[in-house]
Chains A and B, each alone.
Chain A
Amino acid sequence: MSYLPYCVAAWLFVIGLYGVVTSRHLVHLIVCLSVVQSSTYLLLLSIGFRDLPAQAPIFSDVPPGTPAVDPVVHALTLTDIVVSATVSALLLALVMDVQRRRGSVDPETLSPFRE
């Protein structure tokens, strides 16, 4: 098992956050947030990974005792994806309303309590 997936997860996390911090467009910002979240999927899956004879955790037509990767992290990742979809959908809906009412989605020009 190599360290590569962990490095990629860390890189995704950092590059996504860089995008969030520097973004000039709210939709872009939300996509960056999803990139940050993808790093958690990758991390979870890498933690449960076992080297090859291990199969995907689908147990319907294999003999009992067949080695498989950890199914728990798959369940966690699925839940995480559901969370991600909810948050992204809600945020995008809010951004659409911002665009409708203010005509701009640049966080530099928006702020709730600018003086």
Chain B
Amino acid sequence: MTWLVPLPVALPLLVAALLVGLAPICRRCVADSLGILTALVVAFACAGLLFKSAPGTLVYWFGSWAPRGQAAIGISFVIDPLGAGLATLCAALMTCALMFSWRYFEAVRTYFHTLMLIFLAAMTGFCLTGDLFNLFVFFELMSVTAYALTGYKVEEVSALEGSINFAVTNSVGAFLVLIGIALLYGRTGALNMAQVGEALARGPTDGLVIVALTLILGGFFVKAAVVPFHLWLADAHAVAPSPVCVLFSGVMIELGLFGAFRVYWTVFRPNLGDYETGVRLVLMSFGAATALLGALMCYTQRHIKRLLAFSSISHVGIMLIGMATLAARGTAGAMLYLLGHAFVKGALFMSAGLLLDRFESLDEEKLRGKGRGLPILTFTMITGGLGLAGFPPFGTYLGKQLIEEAGAQFHQPWLTGLFLVTSALTGGAVLRVVGTVFFARPAGGARESKSASASHEYREIRGSAHTVPAIMLIMAVVMVVVPALSGAFGRALATRAMAGSQRFVDRTGYYRAVIEGRPFGVLPAPEPTDTTLRGILFGIAAALGAVTLALANLFKSHIPNAFWRGWKPWLDRVLASLQRLQSGHVGDYVLWLMIGVVLLATALLLSAKISA
């Protein structure tokens, strides 16, 4: 089965090269079918790896350069269930996105498919690799294709500018990661993650280790859009083509988190074990800030794609809290949340794409009442909103439940409240849009839009404006039904995620598998995981909160003024200053990025001092 391991990276790269070569003679439908077929094959290959890796971690040495003694001299792919599972998700989402774009805009020859396939290869490679520098290379490959895809609609200035902001901030993030890796190499003389971890464990926890940790976490957090590294995200998501947004929000930014914690567990954990309490507190605070700020910003947006972009920031915050519990249960929760969120957010972006196609606008006020008589879109957006809020049986509620349980172990009971508020806000924002677009009465003389997005936006879909291509609707529906099913198989999924996460955080087992070549070492005993009544009730509560918020906004003229007195001006001021952060000026973004790095470094150093 070892021939299967390089396939998820090699195949899309080969087909991408083929498509570029065939560009002059290749018909559109050939490119489409080839792309979808490749993504599908990769999805099945990754799923095969997932099943093969369940009993024990698979290690593949390229060119058979297996370790000599304790030293890794070759480059390895290390396949554990979490990495393989994420790679499968990437490929599955890519298949959906490519099917959705079957009728999408006039592609300039086959370049769109080529970029998408390279993007896929980079993402799967990022999930599977066991080498630090390889991780950086795949990270950069993923980023560069993402910049190109963001700016794909070159006829729109905002797309170009969004892409430039995205590229500059994420390049700086990648440099931070690279400097961190260089420092680690200088200290340990190794690039294999298991070996670096082992060498670090033998040394002291000093300034270099903390600085390297800060740089690598900070760099990956830029990709993951953790506050205050998040400013690029809304600009990029708002302008990228909808099928690309599906991948950006669904998996790409989450891969930033995955990379950060993969490196934390394999490289830093052996050295930093004594300081775990401090690191947990720091990272959970970053996660909480991200979840809250993203949710607030999300609720105040009028441009639908920007709204969805901020909701992704908020959800990444929740996943960060899960990973930052530094426990298998929290990690499993974050992974289940990721799974549920990826499909729901994908469906919402697809629906947004369809709205944009039909009405040439994504502004909530301009679309007021225009969506009447579009039952399928109404259905996908309502279920999407409920799914974001974590309404059972969507997988998201199960993820939140596991994260809360993990948080409770470490005396962080505030998580429940935070999750309720953020889920209600992000779900409520989507439901509010549904109310305005699909149920409200059309405005007489549409008010002139003051907000962003006022400019004319180009339609993305070729063909007649009045028929929505069936394949696009079908894909949007499939994307909301899948996460609902995933929640229904809650117990089985939770158990699998738990087993995978236990492997993810077990760094001794990782070291044994990679360096000593004992893949079938002792597996940790599985912890029991199941849905609880409490989790279900809180899921329902969050969904009710979302519905209430949406209705409150729709009927806000009926809310007595006394209700607002006192705290409304204060709230407005906070929201206005948050809005100002989003200046669109790339220099400001980079400045905030550096402030974030300094904050992270200070917090980590302080926490190390206190724990010592």
Contact = CB atoms under 8 A, between A and B. Distances in A.
Contacts of A23: 587
B235 interface: yes
**Residue with the highest number of chain B CB atoms closer than 10 Å, among A95, A107, A108, A112:** A112
A112 B583 CA distance: 9
A20 B179 contact: no
A102 to B, nearest CB: 5
Interface string A85-115: 0110011001101100110000110111111
Contact of B586 (A37, A86, A90, A107): A107
Contact of B585 (A36, A40, A107): A107
B168 A94 contact: no
Interface string B151-162: 100110110111
Contacts of B179: 13, 39-40, 43
A66 B133 CA distance: 27
A16 B316 CA distance: 30
A113 B582 contact: yes
Contacts of B185: 47, 72-73, 76
Nearest to A77: B182
B148 interface: yes
Nearest to A30: B168
Interface range on chain B (Cβ under 8 Å from partner): 35 or more
B172 interface: yes
B144 A86 contact: yes
Given A36-B172, A87-B144, A97-B154, A115 B164 contact: no
A37 B175 contact: yes
Given A20-B168, A86-B144, A114 B163 contact: no
A102 B157 contact: yes
B584 interface: yes
A37 B450 CA distance: 40
Contacts of A110: 157, 161, 584
A83 B141 CA distance: 8
Contact of A114 (B155, B182, B584): B584
Interface string A30-47: 000100110110011001
Closest 10 CB pairs of A and B: A111-B584, A113-B452, A47-B186, A21-B587, A112-B158, A112-B161, A112-B235, A112-B162, A83-B140, A101-B157
7 contacts: A22-B587, A36-B175, A73-B185, A87-B167, A95-B164, A107-B585, A111-B584
